[in-house]
Chains A and B, each alone.
Chain A
Amino acid sequence: MDLGLQGLLVGIIFGVLLQRGRLCFNSAIRDVKMTKDNYLMKMALLAILVETIGFQLVAQLGLIKLNPLPFIPLAQIIGGFLFGMGMVLAGGCASGITYRIGEGYITAFVAAIFFGITAAAVRGGPLQIVNKWFGKPITTTNNPSGVYAATDGKVNLTIANLLNVNTWIIAIIFAFLLLVVILVWKTTERKVTGLNWIWGGILVGLTGIIAYLSQKTYALGITGGWVNLLRTTTGNLDLSKGVPYNWIGMEVFGIIVGAFIVALLSKEFKLRMPKDPKTFVQVALGGILMGFGAGVAQGCNIGHILSGLPHLAISSLVFTVFVVAGNWLMVWYLFERK
Chain B
Amino acid sequence: MAEVKPNYTLDERGEVCPIPDVDTRKKLKEMKSGEILEVLIDYALSKERIPAGVKEVGGEVISIEEIGPSEWRILIKKL
Contacts and interface: CB of A to CB of B under 8 A. Distances in A.
B17 A272 contact: no
A290 to B, nearest CB: 14
Contact of B13 (A27, A191, A272): A272
Contacts of B19: 91
B49 A37 contact: yes
A193 B42 contact: no
Interface in A240-281: 267-270, 272-275, 279
A66 B16 CA distance: 37
A274 B17 contact: no
Interface in B40-79: 42-45, 48-49, 51-53, 56, 69-71
A269 B70 contact: yes
Contact of A36 (B17, B22, B51, B56): B56
B18 interface: yes
B52 A189 contact: yes
Contacts of B48: 22, 190-193
B16 A31 contact: no
B45 A274 contact: no
A66 B25 CA distance: 45
B75 to A, nearest CB: 16
Contacts of A335: 18, 22
A25 to B, nearest CB: 12
Contacts of A181: none
B38 interface: no
A268 B70 contact: yes
A92 B45 CA distance: 12
Given A22-B44, A270-B71, A91 B52 contact: no
Q: How large is the interface on A (under 10, 10 to 19, 20 to 34, 35 or more residues)?
A: 20 to 34
Contact of B52 (A22, A107, A188): A188
Contact of A37 (B43, B53, B69): B53
A123 interface: no
Interface in B3-30: 11, 13-19, 21-22, 25
Contacts of B45: 22, 24, 27
A336 to B, nearest CB: 9
A267 B18 contact: no
A34 interface: yes
B51 A191 contact: yes
A275 B10 CA distance: 13
A35 interface: yes
Contacts of B51: 189-191
A272 B49 contact: no
Interface string A169-201: 000000000000000000011111110000000
B18 A27 contact: yes
A56 B70 CA distance: 41
B17 A92 contact: yes
Contacts of A31: 18, 49
A283 B21 contact: no
A274 B44 contact: no
A30 interface: yes
Nearest to A275: B14
B66 to A, nearest CB: 9
A274 B15 contact: yes
Contact of A34 (B14, B15, B18, B69): B18
A272 B69 contact: no
A34 B14 CA distance: 21
Interface of B: 11, 13-19, 21-22, 25, 42-45, 48-49, 51-53, 56, 69-71
22 contacts: A22-B44, A24-B45, A26-B17, A27-B17, A35-B49, A37-B49, A37-B52, A92-B17, A190-B48, A190-B49, A191-B51, A193-B44, A267-B69, A267-B70, A270-B42, A272-B13, A274-B14, A274-B16, A275-B14, A275-B15, A283-B16, A335-B22
